[in-house]
Structure 1
Amino acid sequence: MTHILSADIGGTTCKLGIFDKTLNIEEKWEISTNKTGEGILENIYDSFVVHMNRKNIDMENIIGMGIGVPGPIDFENGIVHGAVNLNWTGNIEVRKHMQQYFNGPIYVDNDANVATLGEKFKGAGRNESDVVCITLGTGVGGGIVSNSELIHGHNGSGAEIGHFLVDQNKRFQCNCGMKGCLETVASATGVINLVHHFYPNINMKSNIHDLIASKNVTAKDVFDAAKSGDEFSLFIIDKVAGYIAYAASVISVMTNPKYIIIGGGVSKAGDILLKFIKKHFEKMTFRPAQEDTHIEVAQLGNDAGIIGAAGLIKTYVLEKENQ
C-alpha cells in the first residue's frame, strides 16, 4: 500500500488529493460542493475513483483516507456534529458513511486541525513535534500539535483558540454566545470592532477617516494604512497583536510549542502584524517557555487542508505502526 487519499471539504469546493507516504502531492484537484449538503461524500468518493483509474491505482494500494470538515468533530468515532457551511445538521457519521466504499482506515477532523497538521508536516512547522497554528479569518480558529499528535480534548473542544477569553472588558459579542473571545478582537471582524470602539474616543488622526466614518472600513484597509505609517491603524494593529500574543503566551506555558504559526486571511498583513505579536509575546511569556520558540506566518495557503488531511493517516496509521 503506497497511497493516501485526502479531502478538505469546504462550503464552496472540496479540495481532493492523492499523496504518497511522505505526504508529497501526487495529484490534487477540486470539485464543487453541493450547496444542499446532499451527496457530498458520494461525490468525493466518485471523484477519487475517476482519478485513481487514470493513474492505475487500485483501492488495495490505498493506506487510508483523511478528511477535513468545517465543523465540530467527535474524532474517535469520525462524527461531525453539524456543519453550517455544508448544510449538515445533527450528527453526520462521516467515517461510517465512507466505509461503505472503502474499508481501510478513515480519519476525520476539523478543518482548522488538519490545516495545522499540514503546516506541521510541510509548512512553517518544519516537521517539529510541537506546533500551534492560530488562523485569523472571518473568525479565529487553530490547532495544537503536542508530542506529534493533535489535541482534541475529551469532547472535541480542545484547541478552540478563538474562544480564549482575552478581552477582560468583554466589550464585543462572540458568535458562541460569550463576550471577550479572541475572535471578537483578532479576526477580520474583530479588527473592525476595535476600530469603531476606539476611533471616536481617541485623539489620533487617520488617513482612513472617511472609510471609518462611513462604516465601510475593512481589516485590509487598516493593515494597508498601518504599513504606510498611519498612527491610528498602527495603534489598532498593536492592540490586535497584544491579544494574539496573550493567547500564544498561555498556550506556550501549557504545551511549549517550538513553532507558533499565524495563518488565515488576516495573516496576509505579514511582517507588520508579526513584529507586534513578537514584541508582546516576549514581554508577557515565561522565559523558558519562549526560548527557541518561533512565531511565523503560515506557508501552505490553500494546500494546508489537503496536506493535513493526508497527515492524519501519516500520524495515526503509519507512525503508529512504527512505534
Structure 2
Amino acid sequence: MTHILSADIGGTTCKLGIFDESLNILEKWEISTNKTGEGILENIYDSFVVHLNRKNLDINSMIGMGIGVPGPIDFENGVVNGAVNLNWTGNIEVRKIMQKYFDGPIYVDNDANVATLGEKFKGAGQNESEVVCMTLGTGVGGGIVANNVLLHGHNGSGAEIGHFLVDQKKRFKCNCGMKGCLETVASATGVVNLVHHYYSNMSLKSSLHDHIMNKNVSAKDVFDAAKNDDEFSQFIIDKVAGYIAYAASVISVMTNPKYIIIGGGVSNAGDILIQYIEKHYKNMTFRPAQDDTHIVVAKLGNDAGIIGAAGLIKTYVIERENK
C-alpha cells in the first residue's frame, strides 16, 4: 500500500497526517510549532519518521509530501515569501529544505489553497472540478479550483479573494495597505467595522447597544442577535452578505463554479448567512453562470488543511501519472 504525507503548518501547531491514495486519513496528529521559526520543517520530518516507524513504513516509500503554509507561495518553486505567523522573513525555500530529508515529490501551497482543495476532494465541494472557497475568519482567504487544479496566477497572487475591491466607498483600510477589500467588510473584523460605522447613524436600536458602545461587540454577537430577530444585526448581516455575493458573482462569470463554499469562523453563523448571500447572489449574477451553482458551508473544519495538502500530491503526482 502506498501513502501520502501531509503537513498543515500553523502558528501554534503543525497538523500532520498519513493518507492513502483516496485521501482517507490513516492517522493524524499535531506537534507544536517552534515560536522562533527555527527547525519547523526538520521537526515535521522527525515526527513523520517516528509515526511511520510505528507502522513499519519507510519514509522513502511514500508517494509524496504536501505542505500547507500560512504565507504567499511561489508554487512552481515551493518557496514562501515570508510567513509572519511562523516568524519567517524573506524567501524560505520550503521544498528545497525538506528535500534534504525526503527525496520524493514535495508540493507546497498556502493554507487557504490547501483548505480549498480539501473541501473540493472530501468536503462541501463534492469532488467537483469547479469549486471556490471563501474562508471568512480574522481576515478573508480563499481558493479557486478550475478544471480540477488550483489557480495560482503568474506570480502566485491568483485567488486572493480577500483583496477583492467590494466596498467602492473605500471606508476601511485593509492590512494590505489598500482600502475597500472584502476582508474589511466580510471578515470577523469587517463585521465589527460595519457595526460601528452604521450604528451611530441609524435609528435602529439593538440588543447589543451596550456592547457596541463599549467597543466589545464581536461578529459572533452580531450573528447570534440576528438569529434572535435583532433588526440592526440583520441589517449588518445583509450588508456583509451583499459584499460576499458581489465577489461570488464576479467569480461565477469568470470560472463558473459548481460550489461556492463559505468557511472560516464567520461561517459558523450557518444558514442565516447563506440565506442572505443567496438573496443578493441571485439578484446580481448572470443567470447562466448561477444555474445549478450552490452556495454551501464548509464541512471539514480543522481537517481541511491536511486533507488538502495531501490533495496536492493526489492532484499533481497521482492524477498526472494516471493521465
The residue number in structure 2 matching 1:64 is 64
Q: Which runs of 5 or more residues in structure 1 are unaligned? A: none
The residue number in structure 2 matching 1:289 is 289
C-alpha deviation, 1:322, in angstroms: 1.2
Give 3-state SS (helix, strand or coil) of 2:41's partner.
helix
C-alpha deviation, 1:128, in angstroms: 0.3
The residue number in structure 1 matching 2:16 is 16
Superposed structure 1 runs of 4+ greater than 3 Å apart = none
How many percent of aligned residue pairs carry the same amino acid? 84
Look up the equivalent residue of 2:155 and give its one-letter code: N
Separation in structure 2 between the aligned mates of residue 213 and residue 99 of structure 1, nearest angstrom: 54
Which whole-Å deviations, capped at 9, do the CAs of 1:228-269 have from their partners, x for residues lacking one? 000000000000000000000000000000000000000000
**2:141, 2:161 within 8 Å by CA — same for their partners in 1?**
yes
Separation in structure 1 between the aligned mates of residue 27 and residue 306 of structure 2, nearest angstrom: 11
Separation in structure 1 between the aligned mates of residue 24 and residue 216 of structure 2, nearest angstrom: 43
Map 1:34-53; keep pairs closer than 5 Å.
Answer: 34-53=34-53
The residue number in structure 2 matching 1:234 is 234
Separation in structure 1 between the aligned mates of residue 285 and residue 322 of structure 2, nearest angstrom: 36
Map 1:243-322; keep pairs closer than 5 Å.
Answer: 243-322=243-322
Aligned Cα RMSD in Å? 0.5
TM-score scaled by structure 2? 0.99
Separation in structure 1 between the aligned mates of residue 221 and residue 186 of structure 2, nearest angstrom: 15
Map 1:75-224; keep pairs closer than 5 Å.
Answer: 75-224=75-224
C-alpha deviation, 1:59, in angstroms: 2.3
**2:2, 2:21 within 8 Å by CA — same for their partners in 1?**
yes
Q: Which runs of 5 or more residues in structure 2 are unaligned? A: none
Separation in structure 1 between the aligned mates of residue 103 and residue 67 of structure 2, nearest angstrom: 15
Separation in structure 2 between the aligned mates of residue 215 and residue 81 of structure 1, nearest angstrom: 35
C-alpha deviation, 1:86, in angstroms: 0.1
Separation in structure 2 between the aligned mates of residue 60 and residue 305 of structure 1, nearest angstrom: 23
**2:60, 2:103 within 8 Å by CA — same for their partners in 1?**
no
Look up the equivalent residue of 1:158 and give its one-letter code: G
Which whole-Å deviations, capped at 9, do the CAs of 1:272-322 have from their partners, x for residues lacking one? 000000000000000000000000000000000000000000000001111
C-alpha deviation, 1:205, in angstroms: 1.2
TM-score scaled by structure 1? 0.99
The residue number in structure 2 matching 1:55 is 55
Q: How many residues are matched?
A: 323
